[in-house]
Amino acid sequence: MIHGKRICVVLPAYNAEKTLRQTVEEIPRDYIDDLVLVDDASSDDTAALARALGIHTIVHPCNLGYGGNQKTCYREALARGADIVIMLHPDYQYTPKLLVAMGSLIAAGQYDVVLGSRILSEGALKGGMPFYKYVSNRFLTLVQNLLLRKKLSEYHTGYRAFSREVLESLPLERNSDDFIFDNQMLAQAIWCGYRIGEISCPTKYFPEASSINLRRSIVYGLGVLAVSVQFRLGRLGLWRAKIFGGLPG
């Protein structure tokens, strides 16, 4: 626990057998109360290894997508009594050594959401981020900051911590089951006025680390722009998209 808050780390996994052990071994178990891994119908032995490592493991009988995996992660973490839930990819792209720092910022009441930013570290390109992804990240973040009236260093990190209140209040089931889920969720949190903090996070890109190809990156980028436009139209009172329906404000 941190400041009396129960911390759960969720691991949305797909073919993560090669990197799972290394990821889990660096998780500071003195502070982390619970681990939940959701295997999205992997073709390798991710689930078997997770169980051997003593992780509470759920296996989807068919692939539900990255967003669908997260929905299961958050439902299960809340059902198991988590006060703070931190998503950590089991592909070892993000360091588990920041889990305590991220959880502490929420447990101390400073923020409701904490993001591990690859851009604040100034090491995204040094860590191997493809140049086209870096440029896309910077462009999309600029547009989002303008449309969402926010000032974040990036919206696209997969390293995220949430308070229980945030996860219980956001209509996550309305969001996509694909990669755009991350962006929709963050836009919903901003809509509701939740406090969002960032922490510098080095990142590593290597063959075993999960990544989407150019085509899916383009689809994701267009989806990000659509979410941002939907947010601004809703704020202007012109049209409220389903993902923002029923939210205060």
Residue range 92-132, pLDDT digits in tens: 999 999 999 999 999 999 999 999 998 887 666 666 677 87
Specify the residue for token string 């759920």.
58
What is the three-class DSSP state of 9? strand
Q: Does residue 209 carry a pLDDT above 60?
A: no
- Give percent of the chain with pLDDT exceeding 70: 94
Q: Average model confidence (pLDDT) for the chain? A: 93
Entry pTM: 0.94
Query: CB of 40 within 8 A of CB of 107?
Result: no
Give per-residue pLDDT as tens, 127-177. Answer: 667 787 888 899 999 999 999 999 999 999 999 999 999 999 999 999 999
User: Would you tell me the crossing angle of helices 214-235 and 181-191 to the nearest 10 degrees?
Assistant: 20
pLDDT category of residue 207 using cuts at 50, 70 and 90: low
Cα–chain center distance at 98: 14
Three-state secondary-structure class, residue 39? strand
| pLDDT category of residue 215 using cuts at 50, 70 and 90 | confident
pLDDT for res 98: 97
Percentage of the chain exceeding pLDDT 90: 84
d(CA 70, CA 214): 23
Alpha helix (H) residue ranges in the chain: 17-25, 46-52, 65-79, 99-107, 131-148, 164-169, 181-191, 214-235
* Contact in structure between 184 and 176 (CB atoms under 8 Å): yes
**Has domain 7-130+153-210 been given CATH number 3.90.550.10?**
yes
pLDDT (average), residues 54-74: 98
* Residue pLDDT, tens place only, 23-49: 999 999 999 999 999 999 999 999 999
Of 87, 97, 89, 96, the closest CA to residue 162 belongs to 87
